[in-house]
Structures are given as structure tokens and as C-alpha cells.
Amino acid sequence: MHNILVLADDRAPFIEVIDHFRKDFFSVYIKPLSYLKNNIDDLNGFDFILLSLAEHESENFSMIQTIKENSICPLYIFSKNSDDEDKSRYLEYGAEGHITIPFNSKIMTSRIKSVLRFINKLKHVKQNIIKIGKLVISMDNREIIYDGVQIPLTNVEYKILKILAEHKNSVVSKDKIIHYVWDEDSSATDNALGIHITRLRKKVKCSRSQIIETVWGLGYRLNHRLCEEETKLND
């Protein structure tokens, strides 16, 4: 079924929610907030995370950021006294929802289950996917996965990789990339493009070579054949 993580120092508000989930055969794990310090690598094993905010505001933003940087699942945050401005900031930091304590446990459970059903439905929809060796680019939901691990990219990095992937094994001129990525922004330069290419190469690469190849005097090329060959050698 689904794995739910509840992060809360005070478990009381979540007891009924946990009971509702377990009756439907969900696996629910309730941990203190300190769990985040030493278990970041485990966050990707959950399908939904519920976070009860701490007393100190700065700590809350740090926790939200840590969760969103290390997990791709939805995050709902819970608090007792947050005003509208705080709620807005929490959502801007990446949380998918904010719930005020106390709350109706049955409605809350149903809300989370509906989100999970929607996500599961999306997973079964045919996606526009480009596969290059162990690299998978999902064009519809902008996910970049290498060897089973999601790679976080900025909007600029994603656009660069997308246009190269759409013209794989062909050289794409610098001017064409710049126009596609920055549109009519006159501040965009060859130097700016080079900086983003360097950052992108550090994130997306094959085992022994750069997937983004520089073709001097012309532009850049996504060398998918080399990556596919290296993947076969490593299998």
C-alpha cells in the first residue's frame, strides 16, 4: 500500500489519523522532529509526509527545505497558531498543504488519500519520456532521473537539457539554446550559458564521460550514444 511518515514531537493530534490509515492497511511511521537529522536518506521511501511544526520559526523553514530537497512526495504541515502570512511562506518553501491544529481526523485522512489516488493515476498516464542510458527525462512532469535517483535541476538547467535531448546527437548552436532558454532576455550571454552548462554537467553525467559535449565553434551536443554504450558495459 502506501508509506506515511508523521514527524511530530506531540503525537496526540495524529492518533486518530494514524488509526484511520492503519485500518486501510497503510504503513504509518511516527517519529520525533529530530528524526530528520540522521535519516535524510530514508525520506524517499515515503509516499506522504506530515510535519508538525516546531516552536521556533527558523527551525520550521529548515525542516521544510530539508524534506523537499530529499524527497519528491507531498508534504503537509500542521501548526496551531500560524497566521496567513506564515502559512503562505511555508507553502512557498515547498509544502503542498497547511493544516491548522485541531482538525477533523476523518476529513484529513480522506484528503490525503485523495491526493495519493491522484498521484497514482498520474503514474499510469503515458508520459513523454526520453531515455538515454540510465538517464530518464520525463518531459511532462519535468523529472530528471539518473540510475533510479531523481536529480534536482533549476528551471534554466532543465530547459538546456530539454532542448539538447530533443536534438540528441545533433549539435545545437549556442544562439539557439540561449533564445530557447532566455527568450528575449538581452542579458543572456555565451558566458552565462557556459556557467549553466558546467553546473548541469556536474549533475547529469555518464560513468566515465560528459553527456554534454562541446563542439567548438558550433555549440553543444547531447552524446546519448556514448552514454548508452557505457550503460551496456556496466550492466
With a CB cutoff of 8 Å and minimum separation 6, the contacts of 121 are: none
Q: Identify whether residues 100 and 154 lie together within a single domain.
A: no
Kindly state whether residues 103 and 26 are assigned to the same domain. yes
pLDDT at 93: 84
Mean pLDDT, range 159-171, rounded to an integer = 84
pTM of the model: 0.55
CATH classification of the domain holding 155: 1.10.10.10
Q: How confident is the model at residue 127 (pLDDT cuts 50, 70, 90)?
A: low
Give the end of a domain, one of 123, 146, 180.
Answer: 123
Q: Are 160 and 200 in contact (CB under 8 A)?
A: yes
- Exposed/middle/buried for residue 228 (C-beta within 10 Å: 0-12, 13-18, 19+): middle
The more confidently predicted of residues 219 and 210 is 219
Q: Are residues 106 and 147 in the same domain?
A: no
Q: Which residues pair with 99 in a beta bridge?
A: 78
Average pLDDT over every residue of 62-66: 89
Mean pLDDT for the stretch of residues 25-37: 92
Helix ranges, 134-189 (H): 155-166, 174-182
Question: From the CB of residue 189, how many other CB atoms can be counted at a distance below 10 Å?
Answer: 12
- Whether residue 103 is found in the same domain as residue 214: no
**Nearest CA-CA partner of 76 in 41, 39, 107, 111:** 111
